[in-house]
A and B are shown apart, each in its own frame.
Chain A
Amino acid sequence: MGLTRDDVARLADLARIELTPDELAHLAPQIDVIVEAVAGVAEVKDDDIPPLAHPLGVVNVRRADQALPTDWQALRPVLEQDAPAWQDDRFRVPRILEEEE
Protein backbone atom coordinates (compact mmCIF):
# COMPACT_ATOMS: atom_id res chain seq x y z
CA MET A 1 0.00 0.00 0.00
CA GLY A 2 1.68 3.27 0.93
CA LEU A 3 0.41 6.77 1.53
CA THR A 4 0.24 9.32 -1.25
CA ARG A 5 0.47 13.05 -0.82
CA ASP A 6 -3.30 13.27 -1.24
CA ASP A 7 -3.80 10.67 1.50
CA VAL A 8 -1.65 12.69 3.88
CA ALA A 9 -3.49 15.88 2.95
CA ARG A 10 -6.79 14.15 3.73
CA LEU A 11 -5.48 12.82 7.08
CA ALA A 12 -4.22 16.29 8.01
CA ASP A 13 -7.67 17.59 7.18
CA LEU A 14 -9.30 14.96 9.41
CA ALA A 15 -6.88 15.93 12.20
CA ARG A 16 -7.75 19.62 11.69
CA ILE A 17 -4.18 20.60 10.86
CA GLU A 18 -3.55 23.19 8.17
CA LEU A 19 -0.44 22.30 6.16
CA THR A 20 1.29 24.59 3.70
CA PRO A 21 2.14 23.00 0.32
CA ASP A 22 5.81 22.96 1.39
CA GLU A 23 5.00 21.22 4.66
CA LEU A 24 2.91 18.64 2.86
CA ALA A 25 5.69 17.97 0.36
CA HIS A 26 8.12 17.53 3.26
CA LEU A 27 5.98 15.47 5.65
CA ALA A 28 4.15 13.16 3.23
CA PRO A 29 7.15 11.03 2.15
CA GLN A 30 8.38 10.82 5.76
CA ILE A 31 5.00 9.60 6.98
CA ASP A 32 4.87 7.08 4.16
CA VAL A 33 8.27 5.67 5.20
CA ILE A 34 7.09 5.33 8.81
CA VAL A 35 3.86 3.59 7.79
CA GLU A 36 5.91 1.15 5.72
CA ALA A 37 8.16 0.46 8.71
CA VAL A 38 5.30 -0.25 11.10
CA ALA A 39 2.92 -2.10 8.79
CA GLY A 40 4.41 -5.53 9.63
CA VAL A 41 2.65 -5.57 12.99
CA ALA A 42 -0.66 -5.92 11.16
CA GLU A 43 0.35 -9.49 10.33
CA VAL A 44 -0.49 -10.65 13.85
CA LYS A 45 -3.63 -12.49 12.90
CA ASP A 46 -4.10 -14.72 15.91
CA ASP A 47 -7.51 -13.99 17.42
CA ASP A 48 -6.60 -15.84 20.61
CA ILE A 49 -4.16 -13.16 21.73
CA PRO A 50 -5.91 -10.64 23.99
CA PRO A 51 -5.07 -6.96 23.48
CA LEU A 52 -3.09 -5.28 26.25
CA ALA A 53 -4.10 -1.79 27.38
CA HIS A 54 -3.16 -1.54 31.08
CA PRO A 55 -0.11 -3.66 31.92
CA LEU A 56 -1.46 -4.65 35.34
CA GLY A 57 -4.92 -5.37 34.02
CA VAL A 58 -6.65 -2.40 35.63
CA VAL A 59 -9.93 -1.84 33.77
CA ASN A 60 -12.81 0.59 34.05
CA VAL A 61 -12.01 2.16 37.39
CA ARG A 62 -15.08 3.91 38.72
CA ARG A 63 -15.65 6.47 41.39
CA ALA A 64 -18.64 8.20 42.89
CA ASP A 65 -20.21 10.77 40.57
CA GLN A 66 -19.71 13.67 42.93
CA ALA A 67 -18.70 17.21 42.15
CA LEU A 68 -15.51 18.25 43.90
CA PRO A 69 -15.39 21.73 45.43
CA THR A 70 -14.11 24.38 43.04
CA ASP A 71 -12.69 27.69 44.18
CA TRP A 72 -14.20 29.83 41.42
CA GLN A 73 -12.71 33.04 42.78
CA ALA A 74 -9.20 31.59 42.47
CA LEU A 75 -9.87 29.81 39.19
CA ARG A 76 -11.56 32.64 37.30
CA PRO A 77 -8.51 34.91 36.78
CA VAL A 78 -6.40 31.95 35.58
CA LEU A 79 -9.05 30.88 33.07
CA GLU A 80 -9.45 34.45 31.88
CA GLN A 81 -5.70 34.84 31.45
CA ASP A 82 -5.41 31.57 29.52
CA ALA A 83 -8.44 32.17 27.31
CA PRO A 84 -7.83 33.41 23.76
CA ALA A 85 -10.97 35.50 24.18
CA TRP A 86 -13.10 36.07 27.29
CA GLN A 87 -16.31 37.95 27.81
CA ASP A 88 -18.81 38.17 30.71
CA ASP A 89 -17.10 35.33 32.61
CA ARG A 90 -17.35 33.05 29.60
CA PHE A 91 -15.05 31.78 26.85
CA ARG A 92 -15.71 33.67 23.64
CA VAL A 93 -15.42 31.29 20.70
CA PRO A 94 -15.59 31.79 16.93
CA ARG A 95 -18.84 31.32 15.07
CA ILE A 96 -19.78 27.78 14.15
CA LEU A 97 -21.62 28.28 10.87
CA GLU A 98 -20.39 29.53 7.52
CA GLU A 99 -22.00 32.76 6.42
CA GLU A 100 -24.89 32.34 3.96
CA GLU A 101 -23.77 33.20 0.46
Chain B
Amino acid sequence: MTELTRLDAAELGRRIASREVSSREVTAACFDRIEAVDGAVRAFLTTDRERALQAADAIDTRIAAGEKLGPLAGVPIAVKDLLCYQGLPTTASSRILEGWMPPYNSTVVERLLDAGLVILGKTNLDEFALGSSTETSAFGPTHNPWALDRIPGGSGGGSAAALASFEAPLAIGTDTGGSIRQPAAVTGTVGVKPTYGAVSRYGIIAVASSLDQAGPCARNVYDTALLHDVIVGRDPRDGTSVELSGTQAVGVADMARRADVKGLRIGVVKELGGEGYQPGVEQRFREAVQVLVQAGAEVVEVSCPHFVHSLATYYLIMPAEVSSNLSRYDGMRYGLRKGGPDATTEQVMRASRGAGFGAEAKRRIILGTYALSAGYYDAYYGSAQKMRTLIARDFAVAYEVCDVLVSPTTPTTAFKLGEKVDDPLAMYMSDLCTIPVNLAGIAAGSVPCGLSPDDGLPVGFQIIAPALQDARVYQVAAALEAALDTQRGHPLLDDAPALGEAR
Protein backbone atom coordinates (compact mmCIF):
# COMPACT_ATOMS: atom_id res chain seq x y z
CA MET B 1 0.00 0.00 0.00
CA THR B 2 1.37 3.39 -0.85
CA GLU B 3 1.93 5.52 2.21
CA LEU B 4 0.10 8.50 0.70
CA THR B 5 -3.29 6.81 1.05
CA ARG B 6 -2.72 6.36 4.81
CA LEU B 7 -2.14 10.08 5.42
CA ASP B 8 -4.96 12.21 6.74
CA ALA B 9 -6.52 14.99 4.70
CA ALA B 10 -5.04 17.91 6.65
CA GLU B 11 -1.53 16.51 6.22
CA LEU B 12 -2.12 15.81 2.52
CA GLY B 13 -3.36 19.38 2.06
CA ARG B 14 -0.29 20.74 3.84
CA ARG B 15 2.11 18.67 1.72
CA ILE B 16 0.31 19.54 -1.51
CA ALA B 17 0.39 23.26 -0.62
CA SER B 18 4.12 23.12 0.17
CA ARG B 19 4.72 21.07 -3.01
CA GLU B 20 6.30 18.15 -1.12
CA VAL B 21 3.88 16.02 -3.06
CA SER B 22 1.58 16.84 -5.95
CA SER B 23 -2.18 16.51 -5.96
CA ARG B 24 -1.74 14.28 -9.03
CA GLU B 25 0.43 11.83 -7.07
CA VAL B 26 -2.07 11.71 -4.21
CA THR B 27 -5.02 11.31 -6.57
CA ALA B 28 -3.28 8.58 -8.57
CA ALA B 29 -2.43 6.75 -5.31
CA CYS B 30 -6.13 6.75 -4.37
CA PHE B 31 -7.10 5.28 -7.74
CA ASP B 32 -4.39 2.60 -7.40
CA ARG B 33 -5.78 1.72 -4.00
CA ILE B 34 -9.35 1.64 -5.34
CA GLU B 35 -8.23 -0.66 -8.13
CA ALA B 36 -6.50 -2.94 -5.64
CA VAL B 37 -9.21 -3.31 -2.99
CA ASP B 38 -12.56 -2.13 -4.32
CA GLY B 39 -13.28 -5.45 -5.98
CA ALA B 40 -13.68 -6.77 -2.44
CA VAL B 41 -15.13 -3.67 -0.72
CA ARG B 42 -17.33 -2.29 -3.53
CA ALA B 43 -17.55 1.20 -2.08
CA PHE B 44 -17.67 2.98 -5.44
CA LEU B 45 -20.39 2.86 -8.09
CA THR B 46 -18.41 5.00 -10.52
CA THR B 47 -14.89 6.41 -10.63
CA ASP B 48 -13.76 9.40 -12.64
CA ARG B 49 -10.01 8.95 -13.11
CA GLU B 50 -9.33 11.17 -16.14
CA ARG B 51 -11.25 14.20 -14.93
CA ALA B 52 -9.90 13.83 -11.38
CA LEU B 53 -6.30 13.74 -12.59
CA GLN B 54 -6.95 16.82 -14.75
CA ALA B 55 -8.43 18.62 -11.75
CA ALA B 56 -5.42 17.60 -9.67
CA ASP B 57 -3.07 18.97 -12.32
CA ALA B 58 -4.98 22.24 -12.36
CA ILE B 59 -4.55 22.57 -8.56
CA ASP B 60 -0.84 21.72 -8.83
CA THR B 61 -0.44 24.41 -11.50
CA ARG B 62 -2.19 27.04 -9.37
CA ILE B 63 -0.04 26.20 -6.35
CA ALA B 64 3.11 26.28 -8.48
CA ALA B 65 2.05 29.76 -9.64
CA GLY B 66 2.03 30.88 -6.02
CA GLU B 67 -1.72 30.93 -5.40
CA LYS B 68 -2.82 30.50 -1.79
CA LEU B 69 -5.62 27.96 -1.69
CA GLY B 70 -7.67 26.45 1.14
CA PRO B 71 -6.39 23.71 3.50
CA LEU B 72 -8.02 20.90 1.48
CA ALA B 73 -7.02 22.05 -2.02
CA GLY B 74 -5.82 19.11 -4.08
CA VAL B 75 -7.10 16.53 -1.58
CA PRO B 76 -9.22 13.70 -3.07
CA ILE B 77 -12.78 13.06 -1.93
CA ALA B 78 -15.51 10.47 -2.53
CA VAL B 79 -19.11 11.67 -2.99
CA LYS B 80 -22.24 9.71 -2.17
CA ASP B 81 -24.23 8.93 -5.30
CA LEU B 82 -27.17 10.97 -4.10
CA LEU B 83 -25.51 14.30 -5.00
CA CYS B 84 -25.66 15.65 -8.53
CA TYR B 85 -22.27 16.05 -10.19
CA GLN B 86 -22.32 16.84 -13.90
CA GLY B 87 -20.47 14.42 -16.13
CA LEU B 88 -21.05 11.35 -13.96
CA PRO B 89 -24.31 9.43 -13.60
CA THR B 90 -26.30 10.10 -10.40
CA THR B 91 -28.31 6.98 -9.62
CA ALA B 92 -29.28 7.03 -5.92
CA SER B 93 -28.43 3.29 -6.30
CA SER B 94 -31.77 2.79 -8.04
CA ARG B 95 -32.61 1.09 -11.34
CA ILE B 96 -35.10 3.86 -11.98
CA LEU B 97 -32.23 6.37 -12.29
CA GLU B 98 -29.61 4.04 -13.76
CA GLY B 99 -27.39 6.05 -16.09
CA TRP B 100 -29.13 9.37 -15.37
CA MET B 101 -26.82 12.32 -16.09
CA PRO B 102 -27.63 15.36 -13.93
CA PRO B 103 -28.00 18.61 -15.86
CA TYR B 104 -26.51 20.63 -12.97
CA ASN B 105 -24.23 20.35 -9.93
CA SER B 106 -25.41 20.20 -6.34
CA THR B 107 -24.33 23.15 -4.22
CA VAL B 108 -22.21 20.84 -2.04
CA VAL B 109 -20.32 19.64 -5.12
CA GLU B 110 -19.86 23.25 -6.27
CA ARG B 111 -18.37 24.13 -2.88
CA LEU B 112 -16.01 21.14 -3.01
CA LEU B 113 -14.81 22.14 -6.47
CA ASP B 114 -14.44 25.79 -5.42
CA ALA B 115 -12.28 24.68 -2.48
CA GLY B 116 -10.05 22.70 -4.86
CA LEU B 117 -11.04 19.22 -3.73
CA VAL B 118 -10.60 16.45 -6.29
CA ILE B 119 -13.67 14.23 -6.75
CA LEU B 120 -12.69 10.57 -7.22
CA GLY B 121 -16.15 9.21 -7.97
CA LYS B 122 -19.54 8.30 -6.55
CA THR B 123 -20.10 5.91 -3.67
CA ASN B 124 -22.71 3.24 -3.09
CA LEU B 125 -25.75 3.69 -0.84
CA ASP B 126 -29.06 2.06 -0.04
CA GLU B 127 -31.58 2.75 -2.81
CA PHE B 128 -32.67 6.39 -2.36
CA ALA B 129 -30.79 6.28 0.96
CA LEU B 130 -33.53 4.02 2.36
CA GLY B 131 -31.72 1.52 4.54
CA SER B 132 -29.06 0.89 7.17
CA SER B 133 -26.77 -1.56 5.39
CA THR B 134 -26.37 -0.64 1.66
CA GLU B 135 -28.14 -3.93 0.94
CA THR B 136 -31.08 -2.21 -0.74
CA SER B 137 -28.75 -0.78 -3.39
CA ALA B 138 -29.83 -2.01 -6.81
CA PHE B 139 -26.16 -2.47 -7.63
CA GLY B 140 -25.24 -4.80 -4.77
CA PRO B 141 -24.02 -4.19 -1.23
CA THR B 142 -20.79 -2.61 -0.02
CA HIS B 143 -18.67 -4.72 2.32
CA ASN B 144 -17.29 -3.59 5.69
CA PRO B 145 -13.48 -3.33 5.46
CA TRP B 146 -13.21 -4.65 9.04
CA ALA B 147 -14.99 -7.88 8.09
CA LEU B 148 -16.03 -8.33 4.49
CA ASP B 149 -19.03 -10.49 5.38
CA ARG B 150 -20.54 -7.65 7.42
CA ILE B 151 -22.53 -4.53 6.56
CA PRO B 152 -20.75 -1.16 6.27
CA GLY B 153 -23.82 0.60 7.63
CA GLY B 154 -26.23 2.63 5.59
CA SER B 155 -27.33 4.38 3.78
CA GLY B 156 -23.86 5.93 3.37
CA GLY B 157 -22.00 2.62 3.60
CA GLY B 158 -20.03 3.30 0.43
CA SER B 159 -18.62 6.59 1.71
CA ALA B 160 -17.71 5.09 5.10
CA ALA B 161 -16.13 1.98 3.55
CA ALA B 162 -14.10 4.12 1.13
CA LEU B 163 -12.60 5.88 4.16
CA ALA B 164 -12.02 2.75 6.25
CA SER B 165 -10.33 0.94 3.34
CA PHE B 166 -8.03 3.94 2.68
CA GLU B 167 -9.45 4.49 -0.80
CA ALA B 168 -10.19 8.16 -0.01
CA PRO B 169 -9.26 10.45 2.89
CA LEU B 170 -12.58 12.35 2.80
CA ALA B 171 -16.16 11.64 1.81
CA ILE B 172 -19.57 13.30 1.64
CA GLY B 173 -22.59 11.60 3.15
CA THR B 174 -26.22 12.48 3.73
CA ASP B 175 -28.16 11.78 6.91
CA THR B 176 -31.95 11.45 7.06
CA GLY B 177 -32.14 9.16 10.10
CA GLY B 178 -28.50 8.24 10.74
CA SER B 179 -27.05 7.56 7.29
CA ILE B 180 -23.80 9.42 8.06
CA ARG B 181 -23.37 8.46 11.72
CA GLN B 182 -24.34 4.77 11.72
CA PRO B 183 -21.94 3.87 8.85
CA ALA B 184 -19.20 5.89 10.59
CA ALA B 185 -19.82 3.94 13.80
CA VAL B 186 -19.65 0.48 12.26
CA THR B 187 -16.56 1.24 10.14
CA GLY B 188 -14.47 3.01 12.80
CA THR B 189 -14.61 6.35 10.99
CA VAL B 190 -15.96 9.83 11.81
CA GLY B 191 -19.12 11.41 10.44
CA VAL B 192 -21.17 14.47 11.34
CA LYS B 193 -24.75 15.46 10.54
CA PRO B 194 -24.76 19.26 10.76
CA THR B 195 -27.74 21.26 12.03
CA TYR B 196 -30.66 21.03 9.58
CA GLY B 197 -30.32 23.91 7.15
CA ALA B 198 -26.57 24.36 7.63
CA VAL B 199 -25.80 22.58 4.35
CA SER B 200 -27.73 23.27 1.16
CA ARG B 201 -29.92 20.45 -0.14
CA TYR B 202 -29.91 21.90 -3.67
CA GLY B 203 -29.01 19.19 -6.17
CA ILE B 204 -29.18 16.39 -3.64
CA ILE B 205 -31.83 13.82 -4.55
CA ALA B 206 -34.64 14.45 -2.08
CA VAL B 207 -35.57 11.60 0.27
CA ALA B 208 -37.41 13.13 3.26
CA SER B 209 -37.03 16.84 2.83
CA SER B 210 -37.64 17.94 6.43
CA LEU B 211 -34.98 15.48 7.69
CA ASP B 212 -32.31 15.27 4.94
CA GLN B 213 -28.95 16.87 5.61
CA ALA B 214 -25.59 16.36 3.91
CA GLY B 215 -22.45 16.27 6.00
CA PRO B 216 -18.73 15.52 6.19
CA CYS B 217 -17.07 12.11 6.72
CA ALA B 218 -13.37 11.41 7.33
CA ARG B 219 -10.94 9.21 9.23
CA ASN B 220 -10.41 11.70 12.06
CA VAL B 221 -12.23 14.57 13.71
CA TYR B 222 -10.07 17.44 12.48
CA ASP B 223 -10.36 16.38 8.82
CA THR B 224 -14.12 16.09 9.27
CA ALA B 225 -14.20 19.62 10.68
CA LEU B 226 -12.16 21.04 7.79
CA LEU B 227 -14.62 19.48 5.34
CA HIS B 228 -17.58 20.76 7.38
CA ASP B 229 -16.31 24.31 6.99
CA VAL B 230 -16.07 23.85 3.21
CA ILE B 231 -19.66 22.70 2.65
CA VAL B 232 -21.81 24.71 5.10
CA GLY B 233 -23.49 28.04 4.45
CA ARG B 234 -26.74 29.59 3.30
CA ASP B 235 -27.72 28.93 -0.29
CA PRO B 236 -30.47 31.00 -1.92
CA ARG B 237 -31.36 27.93 -4.00
CA ASP B 238 -32.43 26.02 -0.85
CA GLY B 239 -35.15 27.95 0.95
CA THR B 240 -34.70 25.83 4.09
CA SER B 241 -31.00 26.62 4.42
CA VAL B 242 -30.09 29.06 7.17
CA GLU B 243 -27.73 31.98 7.62
CA LEU B 244 -24.82 30.81 9.80
CA SER B 245 -22.79 33.95 10.41
CA GLY B 246 -22.40 34.54 14.12
CA THR B 247 -23.31 30.94 14.98
CA GLN B 248 -21.16 28.04 16.14
CA ALA B 249 -22.05 26.00 13.07
CA VAL B 250 -19.17 27.47 11.06
CA GLY B 251 -15.47 27.68 11.81
CA VAL B 252 -15.68 24.34 13.57
CA ALA B 253 -12.11 23.34 12.66
CA ASP B 254 -10.76 25.75 15.30
CA MET B 255 -12.84 24.02 17.95
CA ALA B 256 -11.72 20.58 16.76
CA ARG B 257 -8.12 21.71 17.09
CA ARG B 258 -8.69 22.89 20.66
CA ALA B 259 -10.21 19.53 21.73
CA ASP B 260 -10.82 20.76 25.27
CA VAL B 261 -13.73 19.59 27.41
CA LYS B 262 -12.77 21.08 30.79
CA GLY B 263 -15.90 22.18 32.60
CA LEU B 264 -18.17 21.02 29.81
CA ARG B 265 -21.39 19.38 31.03
CA ILE B 266 -22.10 16.08 29.27
CA GLY B 267 -25.55 14.50 29.49
CA VAL B 268 -25.94 10.74 29.18
CA VAL B 269 -29.39 10.00 27.74
CA LYS B 270 -31.03 7.37 29.93
CA GLU B 271 -33.36 6.19 27.17
CA LEU B 272 -30.52 5.43 24.73
CA GLY B 273 -29.20 2.27 26.36
CA GLY B 274 -30.25 -0.88 28.16
CA GLU B 275 -32.39 -3.55 26.56
CA GLY B 276 -31.46 -4.31 22.96
CA TYR B 277 -28.00 -2.81 23.28
CA GLN B 278 -24.99 -5.08 22.79
CA PRO B 279 -23.02 -5.39 26.09
CA GLY B 280 -19.70 -4.65 24.38
CA VAL B 281 -21.14 -1.47 22.86
CA GLU B 282 -22.40 -0.27 26.26
CA GLN B 283 -19.07 -1.12 27.90
CA ARG B 284 -17.02 0.89 25.40
CA PHE B 285 -19.52 3.73 25.65
CA ARG B 286 -19.24 3.91 29.47
CA GLU B 287 -15.45 3.77 29.27
CA ALA B 288 -15.46 6.65 26.80
CA VAL B 289 -17.63 8.73 29.13
CA GLN B 290 -15.05 8.11 31.88
CA VAL B 291 -12.28 9.22 29.54
CA LEU B 292 -14.12 12.51 29.06
CA VAL B 293 -14.55 12.84 32.83
CA GLN B 294 -10.79 12.39 33.28
CA ALA B 295 -10.31 15.10 30.65
CA GLY B 296 -12.29 17.48 32.85
CA ALA B 297 -15.91 17.10 31.73
CA GLU B 298 -18.82 16.82 34.15
CA VAL B 299 -21.38 14.08 33.61
CA VAL B 300 -25.10 14.23 34.33
CA GLU B 301 -27.81 11.71 33.50
CA VAL B 302 -30.76 13.13 31.62
CA SER B 303 -34.10 11.68 30.65
CA CYS B 304 -35.81 12.25 27.31
CA PRO B 305 -39.14 10.47 27.86
CA HIS B 306 -40.52 10.93 24.35
CA PHE B 307 -37.56 9.25 22.65
CA VAL B 308 -39.38 5.91 22.95
CA HIS B 309 -41.73 7.27 20.26
CA SER B 310 -39.00 8.49 17.93
CA LEU B 311 -38.80 5.37 15.75
CA ALA B 312 -42.58 5.36 15.23
CA THR B 313 -42.60 9.11 14.58
CA TYR B 314 -39.81 8.76 12.06
CA TYR B 315 -41.48 5.88 10.22
CA LEU B 316 -44.55 8.02 9.68
CA ILE B 317 -42.89 11.29 8.67
CA MET B 318 -40.11 9.80 6.57
CA PRO B 319 -42.28 7.46 4.38
CA ALA B 320 -44.84 10.25 3.94
CA GLU B 321 -42.20 12.58 2.57
CA VAL B 322 -40.57 9.76 0.58
CA SER B 323 -43.84 8.86 -1.12
CA SER B 324 -44.23 12.49 -2.13
CA ASN B 325 -40.64 13.02 -3.28
CA LEU B 326 -40.43 9.75 -5.20
CA SER B 327 -43.64 10.45 -7.10
CA ARG B 328 -41.52 12.36 -9.63
CA TYR B 329 -40.06 9.11 -10.99
CA ASP B 330 -42.80 8.40 -13.50
CA GLY B 331 -40.87 7.46 -16.66
CA MET B 332 -41.92 10.59 -18.55
CA ARG B 333 -38.95 12.93 -18.93
CA TYR B 334 -36.04 10.93 -17.48
CA GLY B 335 -35.29 7.63 -15.81
CA LEU B 336 -36.56 4.16 -16.55
CA ARG B 337 -39.58 3.82 -18.87
CA LYS B 338 -41.36 0.49 -19.18
CA GLY B 339 -44.47 -0.52 -21.09
CA GLY B 340 -45.23 -1.32 -24.72
CA PRO B 341 -45.63 1.18 -27.56
CA ASP B 342 -49.42 1.26 -27.11
CA ALA B 343 -49.37 1.67 -23.34
CA THR B 344 -51.04 4.71 -21.81
CA THR B 345 -49.30 7.16 -19.49
CA GLU B 346 -50.94 5.47 -16.51
CA GLN B 347 -49.77 2.04 -17.58
CA VAL B 348 -46.26 3.30 -18.27
CA MET B 349 -46.05 4.92 -14.82
CA ARG B 350 -47.18 1.74 -13.05
CA ALA B 351 -44.88 -0.49 -15.03
CA SER B 352 -41.88 1.83 -14.74
CA ARG B 353 -42.24 2.31 -11.00
CA GLY B 354 -42.96 -1.39 -10.49
CA ALA B 355 -39.79 -2.36 -12.33
CA GLY B 356 -37.61 0.56 -11.23
CA PHE B 357 -38.05 0.60 -7.44
CA GLY B 358 -36.71 -2.08 -5.12
CA ALA B 359 -38.58 -3.69 -2.23
CA GLU B 360 -37.62 -1.14 0.45
CA ALA B 361 -38.55 1.86 -1.70
CA LYS B 362 -41.90 0.19 -2.45
CA ARG B 363 -42.51 -0.56 1.24
CA ARG B 364 -41.90 3.05 2.21
CA ILE B 365 -43.82 4.63 -0.66
CA ILE B 366 -46.85 2.45 0.13
CA LEU B 367 -46.54 3.19 3.84
CA GLY B 368 -46.28 6.93 3.12
CA THR B 369 -49.24 6.81 0.76
CA TYR B 370 -51.24 5.26 3.59
CA ALA B 371 -50.10 7.81 6.19
CA LEU B 372 -51.08 10.68 3.88
CA SER B 373 -54.37 9.25 2.65
CA ALA B 374 -57.69 10.91 3.37
CA GLY B 375 -58.93 10.17 6.88
CA TYR B 376 -55.50 9.16 8.15
CA TYR B 377 -53.48 12.33 7.55
CA ASP B 378 -54.31 13.97 10.90
CA ALA B 379 -54.06 10.74 12.84
CA TYR B 380 -50.67 9.80 11.41
CA TYR B 381 -48.68 12.58 9.77
CA GLY B 382 -50.27 15.28 11.95
CA SER B 383 -49.70 13.35 15.19
CA ALA B 384 -46.15 12.52 14.16
CA GLN B 385 -45.39 16.21 13.64
CA LYS B 386 -46.71 16.93 17.12
CA MET B 387 -44.57 14.14 18.55
CA ARG B 388 -41.65 15.77 16.78
CA THR B 389 -42.30 18.88 18.83
CA LEU B 390 -42.32 16.83 22.05
CA ILE B 391 -39.04 15.17 21.12
CA ALA B 392 -37.49 18.57 20.33
CA ARG B 393 -38.73 19.81 23.72
CA ASP B 394 -37.07 16.83 25.44
CA PHE B 395 -33.80 17.98 23.93
CA ALA B 396 -34.42 21.59 25.00
CA VAL B 397 -35.09 20.53 28.59
CA ALA B 398 -31.93 18.38 28.61
CA TYR B 399 -29.82 21.27 27.34
CA GLU B 400 -30.85 23.31 30.37
CA VAL B 401 -28.57 21.11 32.48
CA CYS B 402 -25.87 20.10 29.99
CA ASP B 403 -23.94 21.39 26.96
CA VAL B 404 -23.98 18.22 24.88
CA LEU B 405 -25.73 14.86 25.02
CA VAL B 406 -23.99 11.56 24.39
CA SER B 407 -25.03 7.99 23.56
CA PRO B 408 -23.79 4.98 21.64
CA THR B 409 -24.24 5.76 17.93
CA THR B 410 -25.81 2.37 17.24
CA PRO B 411 -27.18 -0.35 19.55
CA THR B 412 -24.92 -3.00 17.98
CA THR B 413 -21.74 -3.35 15.97
CA ALA B 414 -21.84 -4.28 12.25
CA PHE B 415 -24.14 -7.23 11.66
CA LYS B 416 -23.75 -9.83 8.92
CA LEU B 417 -24.80 -9.07 5.36
CA GLY B 418 -28.17 -10.69 4.75
CA GLU B 419 -29.01 -11.01 8.45
CA LYS B 420 -31.80 -8.40 8.57
CA VAL B 421 -32.52 -7.81 4.91
CA ASP B 422 -36.03 -9.28 5.07
CA ASP B 423 -36.95 -8.04 8.54
CA PRO B 424 -37.64 -4.31 8.11
CA LEU B 425 -38.35 -3.59 11.78
CA ALA B 426 -35.10 -5.21 12.94
CA MET B 427 -33.24 -3.18 10.32
CA TYR B 428 -34.96 0.04 11.45
CA MET B 429 -33.66 -0.53 15.01
CA SER B 430 -30.13 0.25 13.76
CA ASP B 431 -31.08 3.90 13.81
CA LEU B 432 -32.67 4.04 17.28
CA CYS B 433 -30.05 6.45 18.68
CA THR B 434 -29.61 8.62 15.62
CA ILE B 435 -33.22 9.28 14.59
CA PRO B 436 -34.20 11.67 17.44
CA VAL B 437 -31.49 14.07 16.21
CA ASN B 438 -32.99 14.29 12.71
CA LEU B 439 -36.48 14.76 14.10
CA ALA B 440 -35.26 17.73 16.16
CA GLY B 441 -33.02 19.01 13.36
CA ILE B 442 -30.01 19.46 15.62
CA ALA B 443 -26.32 18.58 15.13
CA ALA B 444 -24.63 15.27 15.97
CA GLY B 445 -21.60 13.23 15.06
CA SER B 446 -20.10 9.80 15.58
CA VAL B 447 -16.49 9.19 16.62
CA PRO B 448 -14.94 5.73 17.22
CA CYS B 449 -14.60 4.70 20.89
CA GLY B 450 -12.83 1.36 20.47
CA LEU B 451 -13.55 -2.21 19.46
CA SER B 452 -16.32 -4.18 21.10
CA PRO B 453 -14.94 -6.97 23.33
CA ASP B 454 -17.82 -9.15 22.03
CA ASP B 455 -16.67 -9.34 18.44
CA GLY B 456 -13.68 -7.03 17.89
CA LEU B 457 -15.68 -4.64 15.70
CA PRO B 458 -15.75 -0.81 15.94
CA VAL B 459 -18.11 0.99 18.31
CA GLY B 460 -19.30 4.55 17.69
CA PHE B 461 -19.79 7.29 20.28
CA GLN B 462 -22.49 9.84 19.42
CA ILE B 463 -22.25 13.48 20.50
CA ILE B 464 -25.39 15.61 20.13
CA ALA B 465 -25.31 19.41 20.27
CA PRO B 466 -28.08 22.02 20.18
CA ALA B 467 -29.06 23.59 16.87
CA LEU B 468 -26.29 25.75 15.36
CA GLN B 469 -23.82 24.62 18.05
CA ASP B 470 -22.13 22.13 15.71
CA ALA B 471 -18.72 23.18 17.05
CA ARG B 472 -19.45 21.43 20.35
CA VAL B 473 -19.74 18.09 18.52
CA TYR B 474 -16.23 18.59 17.20
CA GLN B 475 -14.90 19.85 20.52
CA VAL B 476 -15.99 16.70 22.39
CA ALA B 477 -15.22 14.30 19.53
CA ALA B 478 -11.69 15.67 19.18
CA ALA B 479 -11.03 15.44 22.92
CA LEU B 480 -12.25 11.83 23.04
CA GLU B 481 -10.31 10.87 19.93
CA ALA B 482 -7.10 12.42 21.26
CA ALA B 483 -7.38 10.69 24.64
CA LEU B 484 -8.21 7.29 23.13
CA ASP B 485 -5.48 7.52 20.49
CA THR B 486 -2.95 8.35 23.23
CA GLN B 487 -4.17 5.43 25.36
CA ARG B 488 -4.01 3.03 22.41
CA GLY B 489 -0.82 4.48 20.96
CA HIS B 490 -2.30 4.75 17.46
CA PRO B 491 -5.54 5.59 15.61
CA LEU B 492 -8.22 2.88 15.73
CA LEU B 493 -8.15 2.30 11.97
CA ASP B 494 -4.56 1.01 12.25
CA ASP B 495 -6.14 -2.08 13.84
CA ALA B 496 -8.31 -2.79 10.78
CA PRO B 497 -7.23 -5.92 8.94
CA ALA B 498 -5.10 -5.31 5.86
CA LEU B 499 -7.19 -5.87 2.75
CA GLY B 500 -5.57 -8.32 0.37
CA GLU B 501 -4.35 -6.09 -2.43
CA ALA B 502 -3.83 -9.06 -4.72
CA ARG B 503 -7.31 -10.40 -4.16
Contact = CB atoms under 8 A, between A and B. Distances in A.
Interface of A: 3, 7-8, 11-12, 14-20, 23, 26-27, 30-31, 33-35, 37-44, 46, 49-56, 58, 61, 63, 75, 78-79, 81-85, 91, 93-99
23 contacts: A15-B365, A16-B327, A16-B346, A16-B349, A17-B353, A17-B366, A27-B362, A34-B425, A44-B383, A44-B386, A49-B389, A51-B382, A51-B385, A52-B385, A55-B440, A55-B442, A56-B242, A58-B242, A83-B333, A84-B336, A85-B337, A97-B344, A99-B342
Given A19-B362, A31-B363, A56-B196, 9 more contacts: A15-B369, A17-B357, A19-B354, A41-B313, A43-B383, A50-B389, A56-B468, A58-B240, A83-B333
A12 B386 contact: no
Given A41-B312, A63-B236, A53 B210 contact: yes
Contact of B424 (A19, A34, A95): A34
B208 to A, nearest CB: 12
B103 interface: yes
A91 B369 contact: no
Contact of A41 (B309, B332, B334): B309
B335 interface: yes
Interface size bracket, B side: 35 or more
B366 A38 contact: no
A38 B316 contact: yes
B425 A33 contact: yes
Nearest to A55: B441
A16 B357 CA distance: 11
Q: What 8 A-B pairs come out closest when comparing CB atoms? A: A55-B441, A18-B354, A51-B385, A84-B337, A61-B239, A82-B334, A52-B388, A18-B350
B440 A95 contact: no
Contacts of A63: 236, 239
Contact of A82 (B100, B362, B389): B100
Interface string B340-384: 001111111111011101010011011101100100000110111
A18 B315 contact: no
Among B337, B359, B386, B388, residue most surrounded by chain A Cβ atoms (within 10 Å): B386
Given A53-B385, A91-B332, A35 B367 contact: yes
Given A35-B370, A97-B344, A18 B353 contact: yes
B83 interface: no
Contacts, number: 178
Interface in B297-335: 309, 311-313, 315-316, 323, 327, 330-335
DSSP class of B's interface residues: helix, strand, loop or mixed? Answer: helix
A18 B354 CA distance: 4
A78 B105 CA distance: 13
Contacts of B357: 17
A96 B342 CA distance: 11
A3 to B, nearest CB: 7
Nearest to A79: B103
Nearest to A8: B366
Contacts of A61: 239-240
Contacts of A56: 195-197, 242, 441, 467-468
A31 B388 contact: no
B365 to A, nearest CB: 5
B366 A15 contact: yes
A76 to B, nearest CB: 10
A38 B197 contact: no
Nearest to A40: B312
